Amino acid sequence: MSHIKVELKQEQITKLKEICKSFDNEAGELINVLHKTQETFGYLPAEVQEVIARELNVSVAKVYGVVTFYSFFTMIPKGKHPISICTGTACYVRGAEKVLDEFKRILDVKVGETSPDGKFSLSCLRCVGACGLAPVVSVGDKIYGRVSPDGVKDILKEYE
């Protein structure tokens, strides 16, 4: 894991404490707290995990253990437009890999990385359940269906 040092502002710490409080500072609510926090902060840097650990009275190691277990949680800030390519089976047999390769080629980033300008981050996910539209790509909240490698350029153009 790369460690980008983050200075938390006082209001951010207050916000974090509020989130923990809203789950009664229950250790059993850790995953819900992490969800809410990632929703608020966009990602889960080490400093944030430390505050959560302290508030919920669990060890920081345990919090990190949970964060790294679930693929939904990330310690790296996503790009402004997070791109996810569905690599579920339906999308796979309908050519998701080629679409992914095209994104990698054009953006020149690997899966899990963010482009140097912070604009796009690339990740894979397993099935959004829109198999009828395979292969599926999501950019932020927007879902693109029946994407072909040729269509990748057009999708990216929308965010320029």
Q: Which is nearer to another protein, 117 or 128 (CB)?
A: 128
Per-residue x/- track, 38-77, another protein (CB under 8 A): --------xx-xxx-xx---xxxxxxxxx-xxxxxx----
Q: How far is the CB of 118 from another protein (least distance, A)?
A: 22
Orientation angle between helical segments 46-56 and 30-41, nearest 10 degrees: 140
For residue 124, the surrounding DSSP H or E stretch is strand 120-125
Do 96 and 85 touch, CB atoms closer than 8 A?
yes
Cβ distance to another protein smaller for residue 21 or 126: 126
Q: Are 94 and 136 in contact (CB under 8 A)?
A: no
Nearest to 22 by CA among 60, 55, 69: 55
Q: To which residue do tokens 């963010």 refer? A: 114
**Cβ contact 5:26 at 8 Å:** no
Mark residues 96-135: x for contact with another protein by CB under 8 A, - for none: -----------------------------xxxxxxxxxx-
Query: Which stretches of the chain bind another protein, using CB under 8 A?
Result: 1, 3, 5, 7-8, 13, 26-32, 34-35, 46-47, 49-51, 53-54, 58-66, 68-73, 87-94, 125-134, 136, 143, 145
